[in-house]
Structure 1
């Protein structure tokens, strides 16, 4: 799977180049993203601006990957969903299991808020 990776101060933006995401591609994507949990900057923003289709198994794997990030005190946000992908996820009741925002700017806001929340909870 071809992806573009852009590292920011608090997160990595992973942008798949391929238009269709299948379960096997999601497994490959997971192998690329999972190591970020070992980095100092653990948060990931998955930019789906180029993705026009996702199969059901791939969406379930993305939800599991997101859960893994949250269990490891890291953020995982998906942004820039195309309308057909958003509709597919909503129709299959998967959209509600994913942390999805309309833009990369809003994804950055979510990451910042979650970082603050984790700091506050660690302080208690």
Structure 2
């Protein structure tokens, strides 16, 4: 297997959690275990196909755990693994920075709404 080279550590982080949706999914899972439908309602802009794809990639990276219950209809829950929990502090800081940024932009007169603040 060829050696993978990164120029800076954040490259390795962004390879796993980068993109438009993964960090948003992880922020929701940071607080609770959720079903696919709950995630879809929490992130209304994401398509079902993209949600499924992002969850599979996070599961393959051992960041998210998928638990299938043997019942009809099938029930599937997603949660952060212990390894995924190690991202909690980083995700919290991203939320806080975003909230501060929104506050700054609102104080500068920008019409912007934040529906939920990070509780933890």
Fold equivalence (TM over 0.5): no
Structure of higher CA gyration radius: 2
With the length of structure 2 as denominator, give the TM-score of the two structures.
Answer: 0.25
More strand by share: 1
